[in-house]
Structure 1
Amino acid sequence: MRRTVAEHQAAVAGLLRTGYHPAPPEVLALRDALGRALAEDVRAPVSLPPFDNSQMDGYAVHAADLPGAATLTVADPIPAGTVPPPLQPGTAAPIMTGAMLPDGAAAVVPIERADPDRFYSAADRADESVTVRLPGDVDAGQFVRRAGSDITAGDIALQAGTLLGAAQLGLLAACGADRVRVAPRFRVLLLSTGDEVTEPGSALPPGRIYDANTTLLEAALREAGADVTRHRLLGDDPAVLRQALAAITEGSTDLVLSTGGISQGAYEVVKQALAASRVEFSSVALQPGGPQAHGTISGVPFLGFPGNPVSAIVSFEMFLRPALHRITGVPAPRPVLEAVLAEGVDSPPAKHQVRRGVYRDGRVTLVGGPGSHLLHALAAANCLVHLPEGVASLASGSRVEVTLIGPVPTDPVAPAAPITGERAGSGGMDSAERTLP
């Protein structure tokens, strides 16, 4: 069966959506909840700020003393963390940033606008009554943080499905929460096939290669918020693979993901082992990553990716990662930008080609060729470059869409390149995954 990229994206999303039966939510300490998704709305139990407080180090001024410049008696200072007595007319209280505003105070004058522009010491105040002269252009509310100006008690602080980053966890902590209810992790059983693969760390016999796929995909899945179980390496014996898959039961995992054994060779072990199953084997108009498999095993969703490492990670980025975002809210969508090609490129017009590149200052430079084995080039890239179906070649200076998969280097002195030339569109990339800055 032949599919477009968009058709297979929809097929994978539908498979996971119908086959996903999440476990109950978990309650985690905030320090353990980074990167997780909220299982329910969280309402603020207190207002933020919980009381009117000072935005500056300065003097709290009574409402009656705001009109015109005034020389006022200095009251007792108000440090943060204390409850001050009411402020009397004719007085100004030294107040520190974040300290509670006293009753009667209507504004804060920064210390640098006072005369003198320094706070009196305790010794100064002990010897005699001291005064301060304040300017006459002080408006009510100046440098006052009003209670509830950030959020009011009872309002929704964070909605269900929100990804918990540093800012979100900080908000929960500010609201007094030390624990939070989060959605369960998506569980993946990951296995790699092939008689030619050997575990890293062991001796490498002639004619064999080290298994990169398991580490590559496990890391990508964990970055995407999944809980991954690695299966031992499986060879090219269909009976051994069938035995491993027979141990899978509904509810034991949310997805079985395999690599290798789904192409057109004579020893395609996954194809052979699953010939009588509910798994479909497709040819997707994608390079690399054309061979794909999807279906169910014992009621559990199954995906089969090609065996070459770059094909496997491109398959993950194009199909599985977007589907995980849709059904679990984790991970966040990848940023998709428009960039200028630094060089010309050719692409098979009947396929959506995904090249690796380095994006910087609005331009993208291709890294390595289109081959599906070029792991060194993948490791050097920070983006995937999309050359959709119908595009046979693009000249240097043409515009393309790139998906950021790594950090972008910055050069503050380099000017941004002008965008000129023709533009290659997404060619079937799902708009839900397109996150423009």
Structure 2
Amino acid sequence: MSCSCDTHTTALMPYSDALSLLLDTALPITEAESISLAQALDRVLAENITSSINVPPADNSGMDGYAFRNEDTKHFASLVIQDTVFAGDHLSTPVKEGHCVRIMTGAHVPEDVDTVVMQERTRVEDGRLFIDGECKTGDNIRKAGEDISKGDVILKKGRKLTPSDLGLISSVGINQVKVIRKLKVAVISTGDELKPAGTALEPGQIYESNGIVISSLLKRMNIDVIEFGIIPDIPEEIERAFIQANQQADVVISSGGVSVGDADYVKPLLQKLGHIDFWKVAIKPGKPFAFGKLSESYFIGLPGNPVSATVTFDVLAKPFLQKLSGMHASPTLSIPATTASTFRKRPGRMDFQRAVLHQTVDGSLQVSPTGNQGSGILTSVSLANGYVVIPAEQGSISEGETVHFTPLSTALRESD
């Protein structure tokens, strides 16, 4: 008798439980270092950044135009142009009654004026300014502290610094920041069948791809990678690599060897050198995902199939690494969209189906699978811009139904 559901799911840990255990286990590293802003992109702040100044530090003009006391426009038909103030200048003489100054965008507004009119609303005749229409007091003046006030916390500990963050820090006069040291992650690929790209294949062999994918994802996360390359299915060599990796890294990530085959040596080795917290998760792709601890490092065992390795890294390992690095992760987006075709699935495991979200002519959002969803079809990830996450108990989804789309993490997406 045939069955329409995934089998052997009773011993599998639900995805939410696995993710919670990973995050609960991760103890953020606390070692920090002070570096220059030029080195700080994508680093994680080790302390809050507090401004010691107002930004802007003084009132300044938001327009090229003329600065004056608005009250004077009620008593004078025109104003005498007394002086010109450029950005970086400071007018030391008071602006006389019935007078104004020519002022440039960003220039310091003299203390005894309160309004700026844009030059397009003015005309000048014989050194006198005529204003078209009325102005409101305070027009076109950026007030001191309008963006940032002295004493404000502008960025909080745990933030991963973006280019605009660096500009914000520089705008308050800070050129050094204290950041969490980079994580060190060792990457190991296991399997007699694996050969590096650029070499000849023998019968039964395949080119290794997991190592380059995982190392690249880690580098995009600004993590220091220790690459061990391909280790054959020889228990002594695998053990030697694990011992060295454990001594050098905060986290050891391997791919392959955590399933139930005769040559899957990683699981028993981990039991010898440390302990396993779990090694089966009720997700597809990626059921044989292992997590545990060595004597000096955490261990993550990714499945050997390339799609399974990539997806489990993205949805399980990445959040763990982010917390370990001291970073505050952003909430995962879930975007409702309409299916443009059928998503095939059997009930049993939560499914992260690789998909493409696009906007139709009428502005609605539609999502389509990226073809064959097999765990060895790496093109399904390369073509995707996200996942349709289908609950464990759900079966196939027909065209025209509403689903939830989750964008790929920035580490996996194509760079702009």
Superposition TM-score, scaled by structure 1 size: 0.85
Asked if the contact 1:69–1:134 (Cα under 8 Å) also holds between the matched residues in 2, the reply is no
- List alignment gaps of at least 5 residues for structure 1: 121-128, 410-437
**CA shift in 2, pair 1:69/1:193, >3 Å:** farther
- Could you tell me which residue of structure 2 aligns to residue 290 of structure 1? 287
User: Aligned match of 2:398 in 395, 399, 419?
Assistant: 395
Structure 2 CA distance for aligned equivalents of residues 292 and 89 of structure 1: 78
Question: 236-245 or 50-59, which moves further after superposition?
Answer: 236-245
Structure 2 CA distance for aligned equivalents of residues 187 and 402 of structure 1: 32
User: Aligned match of 2:39 in 32, 35, 38?
Assistant: 32
2:204 is the counterpart of 1:204: no
Instruction: Give the Å deviation of 1:15.
Output: 2.9
- List alignment gaps of at least 5 residues for structure 2: 1-10, 360-364
For residues 255-298 of structure 1, the C-alpha deviation after alignment (integer angstroms, 9 at most, x for no partner) is 11110011121111212433434125532111110012111111
- Could you tell me which residue of structure 2 aligns to residue 336 of structure 1? 334
- Could you tell me which residue of structure 1 aligns to residue 101 of structure 2? 93
- Could you tell me which residue of structure 1 aligns to residue 345 of structure 2? 347
Structure 2 CA distance for aligned equivalents of residues 217 and 345 of structure 1: 27
**CA shift in 2, pair 1:71/1:204, >3 Å:** same
User: Aligned match of 1:190 in 141, 165, 187?
Assistant: 187
Structure 2 CA distance for aligned equivalents of residues 168 and 26 of structure 1: 18
Instruction: Give the Å deviation of 1:147.
Output: 0.8
Amino acid at match of 1:4: P
Asked if the contact 2:184–2:225 (Cα under 8 Å) also holds between the matched residues in 1, the reply is yes
- Secondary structure of residue in 2 paired with 1:161: coil
Structure 1 vs Structure 2: percent identity of aligned residues? 32
Structure 2 CA distance for aligned equivalents of residues 248 and 222 of structure 1: 17
- Could you tell me which residue of structure 1 aligns to residue 164 of structure 2? 167
- Could you tell me which residue of structure 1 aligns to residue 214 of structure 2? 217
Structure 2 CA distance for aligned equivalents of residues 242 and 375 of structure 1: 29
- Secondary structure of residue in 2 paired with 1:149: coil
**CA shift in 2, pair 1:136/1:89, >3 Å:** farther
Amino acid at match of 2:31: P
2:23 is the counterpart of 1:13: yes
2:46 is the counterpart of 1:50: no
Asked if the contact 2:116–2:140 (Cα under 8 Å) also holds between the matched residues in 1, the reply is yes
- Could you tell me which residue of structure 2 aligns to residue 368 of structure 1? 371
Asked if the contact 1:360–1:408 (Cα under 8 Å) also holds between the matched residues in 2, the reply is no
Structure 2 CA distance for aligned equivalents of residues 150 and 58 of structure 1: 22
- Could you tell me which residue of structure 2 aligns to residue 427 of structure 1? none
RMSD value, Cα: 2.1
User: Aligned match of 1:256 in 252, 255, 262?
Assistant: 252
Instruction: Give the Å deviation of 1:6.
Output: 1.2
Structure 1 CA distance for aligned equivalents of residues 413 and 197 of structure 2: 27
Superposition TM-score, scaled by structure 2 size: 0.89
Structure 1 CA distance for aligned equivalents of residues 342 and 62 of structure 2: 55
Asked if the contact 1:293–1:305 (Cα under 8 Å) also holds between the matched residues in 2, the reply is yes
- Could you tell me which residue of structure 1 aligns to residue 112 of structure 2? 104
Amino acid at match of 2:334: V
Structure 2 CA distance for aligned equivalents of residues 326 and 298 of structure 1: 20
User: Aligned match of 1:4 in 2, 14, 33?
Assistant: 14
- Secondary structure of residue in 2 paired with 1:247: helix
Instruction: Give the Å deviation of 1:364.
Output: 0.9
For residues 328-373 of structure 1, the C-alpha deviation after alignment (integer angstroms, 9 at most, x for no partner) is 2166455332221111122121111111111112111101222111
Amino acid at match of 1:79: F
Instruction: Give the Å deviation of 1:394.
Output: 1.1
Structure 1 CA distance for aligned equivalents of residues 413 and 196 of structure 2: 30
For residues 172-196 of structure 1, the C-alpha deviation after alignment (integer angstroms, 9 at most, x for no partner) is 1111122211122222111110011
